């Protein structure tokens, strides 16, 4: 098992990509702390992991809130080190720029980008002290190529990339790696909302002519969390069916 004995905190893990990442890390021996804003979702994933023979616990927290996040991670660190942090929490509030509400901008930047600061700052000192850590931040190809109706989302995901490269430089000498995965259009609740017309237009832009799945993302997360990836840091890896090439 690649991650036996490691403790992993995964944000936004109650469904979608976060859920599948949680299952994959647990399957490689990690003790998984499942975070979600919705308590029932976090508990459900933790129970799914335990039913499969893995180790897990759930914790409800709004990671966009600095105080809540700091308190959550302090409580976790009392009982466990955090060896792996997966910053996955994210939302969309799509609209054309000229129609976008200020609250739509603020909410997306808070959940998608500020949560990265909140969680990463809270675990960084602990990881530096133990001279080991793996931080994986989930961005999006939209942060690289843009997308109509997603100025807020694209800004947040582009910000994640700049944030991650800087933190990777700051933590590199302490044995802590920081990398970014930029998924393309993945089959989740977010893409389920697309109309048939929008879906056809989307397929036409993807060289592989299909949406990705959370299972396309999770194996890369496992690899980047493992000792096999110990010399990889500050990288952005697209998992997008070729859309951004």
Active-site residue set: 153
Residues 6+ apart with CB under 8 A from 163: 113, 116, 117, 120, 137
**Burial of 192 by CB count in 10 Å (0-12 exposed, 13-18 middle, 19+ buried)?**
exposed
Number of neighbouring beta carbons within 10 Å of residue 225: 28
- DSSP 8-state secondary structure symbol assigned to residue 38: S
DSSP 204-217: HH-TT-S-B-HHHH
Q: How far does the chain reach from its first CA to its final CA, in angstroms? A: 33
Number of neighbouring beta carbons within 10 Å of residue 38: 12
């Amino acid at each position: 098992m690649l991650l036996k004995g490691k403790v992993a905190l995964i944000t936004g893990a109650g469904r979608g990509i976060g859920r599948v990442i949680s299952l994959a890390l647990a399957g490689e021996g990690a003790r998984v702390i499942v975070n979600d804003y919705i308590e029932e979702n976090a508990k459900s994933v933790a129970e799914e992991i335990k039913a499969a023979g893995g180790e897990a616990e759930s914790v409800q927290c709004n990671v966009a809130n600095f105080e809540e996040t700091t308190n959550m991670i302090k409580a976790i660190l009392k009982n466990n080190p955090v060896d792996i942090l997966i910053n996955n929490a994210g939302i969309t509030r799509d609209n054309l720029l000229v129609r976008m509400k200020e609250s739509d901008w603020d909410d997306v930047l808070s959940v998608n980008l500020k949560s990265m600061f909140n969680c990463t700052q809270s675990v960084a000192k602990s990881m530096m002290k133990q001279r080991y850590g793996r931080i994986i931040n989930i961005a999006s190809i939209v942060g690289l190529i843009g997308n109509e109706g997603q100025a807020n989302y694209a800004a947040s995901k582009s910000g994640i990339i700049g944030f991650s490269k800087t933190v990777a430089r700051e933590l590199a000498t302490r044995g802590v790696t920081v990398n970014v995965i930029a998924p393309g259009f993945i089959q989740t609740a977010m893409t389920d909302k697309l109309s048939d017309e929008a879906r056809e237009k989307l397929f036409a832009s993807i060289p592989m002519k299909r949406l990705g799945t959370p299972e396309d993302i999770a194996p890369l997360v496992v690899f980047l969390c493992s000792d096999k990836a110990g010399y990889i840091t500050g990288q952005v890896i697209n998992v997008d069916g070729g859309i951004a090439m």
